């Protein structure tokens, strides 16, 4: 009788040990890659650059550049804050777009990197230096909190001109708000 009980007991213990060991093994699954805000703005897919025929550009960068350029034009017409950009506005009025092109490229790269782009490196001035006339002679005077609020409003207008969805505008807005203390210096 003991043989009949011992053999099934050993089989049950062996099966349980195998089952326990198999369930206890750590299985490594690939970690899902979390989409960045840059991915949501278009990501790294290459598309034709309408401003430079025959050139390809990341879709995310193109979308950001479109919003940046639209926002620059909105700011240029905004009497609340366009006085900060008298150098740029006088250049553009005279037909010199080099300052506009440089500002657009710097801001586009800054936003692309801040939203998670891996293909670019921002090498421009820090936000504090960029908004301080003592370190950036292209800036007419220091920004106030009201100026920053006007900028955010103009940014939303520029984003809406490019039909950016509200959830992405909110995400970019949260990112921009983190810069308030660096931009506002009065």
DSSP the chain: -HHHHHHHHHHHHHHHHHHHHHHHSPPP-PPPPPPPHHHHTTTT-EEE-TTSTT-EEEHHHHHHHHHHHHHHHHHHT-TTTGGGGHHHHHHHHTT--HHHHHHHHHHHHHHHHHTT-SS----S--HHHHT-TTT-TT--SPBPHHHHHHHHHHHHHHHHHTT--HHHHHHHHHHHHTTHHHHB--
Is the domain covering 37-183 a CATH 1.10.490.10 domain?
yes
pTM of the model: 0.82
Mean of pLDDT over the chain:
88
pLDDT at residue 27 in the model: 55
pLDDT at residue 34 in the model: 81
Domain boundaries, the chain: 37-183
Segment 84-110, tens digit of pLDDT: 999 999 999 999 999 999 999 999 999
Segment 16-45, tens digit of pLDDT: 444 444 444 555 566 666 899 999 999 999
């Amino acid at each position: 009788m003991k043989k009949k009980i011992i053999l099934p007991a050993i089989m049950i213990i062996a099966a349980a040990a195998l089952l326990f060991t198999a369930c206890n093994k750590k299985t490594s699954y690939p970690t899902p890659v979390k989409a960045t805000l840059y991915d949501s703005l278009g990501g790294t897919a290459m598309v034709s650059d309408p401003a430079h025929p025959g050139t390809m550009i990341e879709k995310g960068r193109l979308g950001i550049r479109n919003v940046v350029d639209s926002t620059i034009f909105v700011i240029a017409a905004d009497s609340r804050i366009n006085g900060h950009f008298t150098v740029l506005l006088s250049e553009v009025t005279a037909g010199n777009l080099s300052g506009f092109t440089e500002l657009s490229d710097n801001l586009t790269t800054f936003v692309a990197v801040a939203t998670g782009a891996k293909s670019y490196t921002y090498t421009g001035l820090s936000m504090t230096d960029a908004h301080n006339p003592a370190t950036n002679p292209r800036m007419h005077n220091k920004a106030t909190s009201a100026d920053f609020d006007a900028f955010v409003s103009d940014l939303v207008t520029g984003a809406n001109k490019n039909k950016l969805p509200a959830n992405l505008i909110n995400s970019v807005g949260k990112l921009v708000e983190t810069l308030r203390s660096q931009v506002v210096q009065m």
